[in-house]
Structure 1
Amino acid sequence: MRALNVLALLASTAWVTVSGQSCTPLNATFSTEAMPAGEFQPYEMLNPILGKLASRFFVTIVNLTPHPFKLESSNGKKMEQFSFGDVPPGRARQNPITYRGGPIPLADEGTATYTIQGADNKKFLVRATSKLFGGDDSRRVTLDLSGMGLGSREYVFPGGQTAITLVITGSQSYGFRASLSHGPGNWMRQIYDVIRDRPVRHLIMPGTHDAGMSIISNKLISIGSDQNTQNQALNIYDQLRAGSRWFDLRIGTIHPVHERDVTKHEGFWVLHINDEMADFAVGNTGESLDQVIDEINRFTRENPGEIIFFSIRYLVGRYRFPDRGPLLWTSPVVDEFFTKLRTIHNRCPDLDTSTGFQNHNASYFMDQNSGRGCVLLLLNGRLPDNVPQESPKDGIYAFSRIAVRDHWSNKMHARDMAADQVNVWRSVTRGGRDDFKDFLISQWLVTPDPVAATAYTLENFAIEPTNPSLYFHGVNNMDPAHWPNVILVDYIGVVREDQWGWDQLSAELYTLALGLNLYLVSENCEIQKGRPPLIEGL
């Protein structure tokens, strides 16, 4: 992989906010042009045998800039199908590719060249290739952004009929970013001048579902495995680096089988079980709370200035053999839990709770702790009424301090989930008199039954049909007045099965979050008070 060092790029390219000018509809560059409907990967292509035989794939290009991406040339004569097209500002296009030879790779090649109009004729290339009888890794796509000064990267199609995605944001005057690799960990601080005066409900951020389930630690004696219970490849530290700012974290205590005293336990652990209150719970444990805290503190020490939300659920005990129902926490257990939470750095004690956290401006949180930002701990578990529910003086708050609409589709197929999620965010309006006052979480994930999850793995459900569909379907159903606040996913950053090294990850969701805040939301003049930051000089 050849990629430009993003930190060096930040140093050489000034990202500035245009002040002293107003946002008007005349500034608008967002296109309403309809894009071709994208194709969702068929369910049967999750079968690893059928997936290896696939020869039809896609390259999705997402344009979160004010510049049209013009297809300058396309040469796919050595491909069965190689169909690319223009990508207007604010839109995404899923471009289909079919290799010759069916399941047997031939020496195929196709190249599409794009010009970014109004940006000094900056160009980028998409090149699809395969090697004759090259095996599973034969079919590849190179995203070459060297004509933009952003390097290039080669991806291997992971199987099935899935997509490789390229997200580009920024502008000629502001500088460009692309999804080939992650940028600085504190991405919110990088755009502070853009988002500082927006209420939290007008921000968009990645989130991670079952965030602490990056390992299977087997503290429960149950049938939860990495195939059907693990939801992330990265620990909390790396999820933060990959852009996540909302964490679905489920914590419980683990108890010896015959111990009835709830204060005698084997530690606080992340849990993923089917029902924390069920008589018999199916699932497993992930990271320990101690590991999670160490990872949070390492990140905030290295990357100050962010707003980080932890929605902490469950808050009950389970026996190691989880067939005897939950153990409700008593005050001593809650006190022990709070003592651990107090070791998290950059908590924000004694915040103003007279208004919902979603209505405070971003700067209110980002400026806390002398500009080091805010780790917001929001308890949303099964605590009995007779135990402490929060401790604001310690920066530990009840979940009710933020008004949230958290939408879970509970669908097995990506097509059904995507339609359901889009319907929800299209039903609320951002900005103006009808502004949606709450914080909307879109759970962009599927819920396979236990048999399918075990056979095909939660990882493959995420990286083949589900996560790629966010970019061709989800993006094309957003506009400056309709979008979610949190895009909650499984396996953030992962594009190929079991390839979890930092340099093997890809930054689609990280770059999408930058682009949606810098470009999409900024085109809404009910929200953006000054001139949109990406359009200076256009």
Structure 2
Amino acid sequence: MRFPFKPLVAALAFTGTTTVTTAAPLFDSVTTFITHLTSPPNAAQHLDLTTPSTDPTGLNTLSSLSSSAKSVLQKNSAYLLLINATPFTLRKTGGHSYQMPVWDNSFPETVNPGQSVRVKIEAKTHRDDAGEMRYLLDIGEHGGGNGGGEIEFQYRGRNGPKLQVEWKSLAALGLPEGSIRVLDWHQENNVPFVLGAAPSAGNSSTTGQTSRPGTKFDPAKELVASPGLPTTGWMKQAYSRMHCLTLREMSLPGTHNSGMSLLTGGTALVKARPESVQCHASHMTVGKQLEAGARWFDIRPVIAGGKWATGHYTFFDGIKLPSGLDKIPGLGDLAKEIGKIGGGDKEKVLDGWQGGNGQLIADIVREVNDFTDKYPGELVIINLSHGLNTDTFSGNPKARLTQQEWENLMTELLAVKNRATHITMENIDLTYQRLSNLLPPSDPSKPNDLSRKSSVLFVVDDITTDNQHVNLSKFSKEGFFFRGQLAIFDSYANTNNLNNMITDQFSKLSTHRTKADDDMFLLSWTLTQPVETMITGSIVKYGEDANRALGEKLWANGAMSAQRFPNVVSVDALDEDGEVAGLVAGISWWLARECPAL
């Protein structure tokens, strides 16, 4: 078998950070190399599921069978992850199904407040497969005499598989009665659906800050659902619920390597296989990520061809491939190409900086301005780190931006409108600022008004070529803040194993967040690709695998509490449907302390 060179040159150990990789054997033998090449390790799979084959529907395996035999053996299968983040009980009121091997008995009779359940769904793949199951949100006397309303989960084989929710006699924000919301189908994996409402919605007679005396619960104004949450303006929708919360008390959806949704340049090796550094945001630009609900952005600025862009680079001090490749049938040409890259040493490749450039900073500025103009009342935090001048870094493993280059970048970023220039107190701790302070009022004469402007905070977290922290003195009143003003624990797991990543991140969460006013915590829900899977894998696939487990593990009973939850959840491969944003935004809605009425 002859292996093309182009996919192989992507054997790059990019960890998602600008790091230095020292010389080491990439594979311990030619046999191991060939094994990884022809049968690469599976990307991290869901914890509770059997690792799916490369042909999950079985079409190839069953290709020789008759059409009737195929229809009997093939199945559409997934798990509805139903999260009840409301103070009300969901009660099953009935349903039926046709040609659904697993449906009727899979749904529980009740889903209690704060509970998440995983409902198995299985159909035969016929066009007329169908199922319905209704649930009543039992709001009782809290609805002012209205005992609640029903939603119906529906499966449809036609043009499917399709799982959807019909709002029969219940409404939520952005979801009127009679509307239907189609959920993204994930074969053999989780399909999350969240219902959220403030805990005090279940109170009718208590006193104090969280009381609701004499009021009734209005689902159309106080119930949120995701997917279905208006992600473009979710903070504005939640402002009356969150206005008194500090950054330490709320939770924001975020993206990792936010600008790397496309490749605009880079080294020759990366251009050969852009999947090795791009697609952190699943082809979604920063503007699209904002629309999908992300509010925390990991931007890594680089100078490339004299222009500012985002970048993803790693320094390699000689990665080695096993000797003898030129003697393997079909790999002679590959060995010659490797020899060219390695400067004549066909065992050693990837010397120096390797990586690529993503979105141009100018384009990100334009997208942020478009978003904040169109959607007032949204907080945007942009973390700037890992600065690098790719025009001059040469073979220097400690290459960084100079102070002057950082000032040039910040000058360009002054074009961002709605920067947090109203926060001028020197050395202020941003994490203790309430949302009402972070979002300036639309009318300064009415500081307590619900109408707020959007606000963009730039946090600079880097050192210069002189090994000094970036000096922000010239920009201290322009919406730029140093990382010391944002007390946040941020430590990724550095593993490609989903189990290990989850254990690492939840262990760190338990250690560093024991009460609601502890330092902020960034949950790095990201997997690091090992070198061998760079040959055939992609970052976006790892991100999608991790995201399928996010809702189940984050909302598992006991995983979070009012004292322990992440303030930022940073992911790769953010989805456009709002699944991740809803899972994270629901934390602020359900677990955070409640604010007095405005």
TM-score band, normalised by shorter chain:
0.7 to 0.9
Residues 147 and 218 (structure 1), Cα distance of their counterparts in 2 relative to 1, 3 Å cut: farther
- Partners of 1:486 and 1:109 lie apart in 2 by 39
Alignment check: 8 A CA contact 1:90 1:520 kept:
no
Q: More deviation in 275-284 or 119-128?
A: 275-284
Question: Residues 267-322 of structure 1, C-alpha deviation per residue, up to 9 Å, x if partnerless?
Answer: 11111223599962333211011111111111111122332111111112124997
Is 1:406–2:406 an aligned residue pair? no
Size of the aligned set, in residue pairs, is 455
1:273-352 equivalent positions in 2, closer than 5 A: 273-275=313-315, 280-319=352-391, 325=397, 327-349=399-421, 351-352=424-425
Alignment check: 8 A CA contact 1:209 1:231 kept:
yes
- Partners of 1:309 and 1:368 lie apart in 2 by 18
Give the corresponding residue for 1:144: 166
Give the corresponding residue for 2:433: 360
Gapped regions of structure 1 (runs ≥ 5): 1-37, 132-136, 255-264, 495-504, 523-527, 534-538
Residues 506 and 453 (structure 1), Cα distance of their counterparts in 2 relative to 1, 3 Å cut: farther
SS at match of 1:237: helix
TM-superposed CA distance for 1:105, in Å, is 5.5
Residues 306 and 351 (structure 1), Cα distance of their counterparts in 2 relative to 1, 3 Å cut: farther
Alignment check: 8 A CA contact 2:257 2:298 kept:
yes
Is 1:478–2:478 an aligned residue pair? no
TM-superposed CA distance for 1:358, in Å, is 0.7
SS at match of 1:197: coil
Give the corresponding residue for 2:256: 209
Alignment check: 8 A CA contact 2:162 2:182 kept:
yes
Give the corresponding residue for 1:154: 182
Alignment check: 8 A CA contact 2:393 2:399 kept:
no
TM-superposed CA distance for 1:341, in Å, is 1.4
SS at match of 2:552: helix
Alignment check: 8 A CA contact 1:65 1:515 kept:
no
User: Percent same amino acid among aligned pairs?
Assistant: 18
Is 1:187–2:225 an aligned residue pair? no
TM-superposed CA distance for 1:529, in Å, is 5.9
Give the corresponding residue for 2:301: 251
Alignment check: 8 A CA contact 2:82 2:118 kept:
yes
* Amino acid across the alignment from 2:510: R
> Structure 1 residue aligned with 2:462, among 371, 378, 381?
381
* Higher Cα Rg, which structure: 2
> Structure 2 residue aligned with 1:241, among 272, 280, 291?
291
Alignment check: 8 A CA contact 1:205 1:487 kept:
yes
- Partners of 2:498 and 2:383 lie apart in 1 by 25
Is 1:421–2:505 an aligned residue pair? yes
TM-superposed CA distance for 1:107, in Å, is 5.0
SS at match of 2:270: coil
Q: Taking structure 1 as the reference length, what is the TM-score of the superposition?
A: 0.76
Give the corresponding residue for 1:110: 131
Give the corresponding residue for 1:98: 122
TM-superposed CA distance for 1:323, in Å, is 5.7
Alignment check: 8 A CA contact 1:155 1:164 kept:
yes
Question: Residues 148-200 of structure 1, C-alpha deviation per residue, up to 9 Å, x if partnerless?
Answer: 243213346344x2121111223642432222345163322332232222221
Is 1:467–2:517 an aligned residue pair? no
- Partners of 1:140 and 1:52 lie apart in 2 by 19
TM-superposed CA distance for 1:421, in Å, is 2.0
- Partners of 1:81 and 1:155 lie apart in 2 by 18
Give the corresponding residue for 1:231: 280
Residues 348 and 106 (structure 1), Cα distance of their counterparts in 2 relative to 1, 3 Å cut: closer
Give the corresponding residue for 1:372: 453
Give the corresponding residue for 1:49: 55
> Structure 1 residue aligned with 2:111, among 87, 90, 96?
87
- Partners of 1:401 and 1:196 lie apart in 2 by 21
Over aligned residues, Cα RMSD in angstroms? 3.1
Give the corresponding residue for 1:6: none
TM-superposed CA distance for 1:457, in Å, is 2.8
Residues 333 and 355 (structure 1), Cα distance of their counterparts in 2 relative to 1, 3 Å cut: closer
Alignment check: 8 A CA contact 1:43 1:413 kept:
no
Residues 205 and 286 (structure 1), Cα distance of their counterparts in 2 relative to 1, 3 Å cut: same
* Amino acid across the alignment from 1:482: R
Residues 79 and 242 (structure 1), Cα distance of their counterparts in 2 relative to 1, 3 Å cut: same
TM-superposed CA distance for 1:89, in Å, is 1.4
Give the corresponding residue for 1:167: 194
